[in-house]
Amino acid sequence: MLMWTLDKLINPAHSGKVFENFYGAVGWTETVFLFIGIFELLLILAFVMGLWKRLTYGLVLLLHTISTLSALSLYMEPFKHLLFFAAWPMLAACITLYLLRNEDNFLSIKNRKGTQG
């Protein structure tokens, strides 16, 4: 997710082509992708720090699910689009992280009460 986020910030024109192809988002300006990239970067940082787990883990799961399912037609020709199959184990990992979010506390930042957020 970080690489696609950086793509939105560094090369928003490329992100526009991806969004047109996979999501049907035609006519979006580069500024829109910059804002999406900033939002995603903040989301990723909060996710990695273990902040607001229900929200951040849930949004990462939702965004990755949308991304994975938007390429559904490409899975019908697996040897032409082999790289897309990496999305499925990642989706399983996102689901697992969301379901076990309260147990994930190794590097999480604790809130003021000393419990996980």
pLDDT tens figures, 74-85: 988 888 888 899
In a shared domain, residues 20 and 57: no
Vertex 107: Cα angle to 101 and 113 (nearest 5): 75
> How many domains does one find in the chain?
2
In a shared domain, residues 42 and 96: no
Q: Which domain holds residue 70?
A: 53-117
Residue (of 38, 96, 35, 25) closest to 64 by Cα position:
96
In a shared domain, residues 23 and 59: no
Q: Provide the whole-model pTM.
A: 0.85
In a shared domain, residues 107 and 61: yes
User: What pLDDT shows up at residue 106?
Assistant: 78
In a shared domain, residues 60 and 112: yes
Whole-angstrom Cα distance, residue 27 to residue 23?
12
pLDDT tens figures, 36-75: 999 999 999 999 999 999 999 999 999 999 999 999 989 8
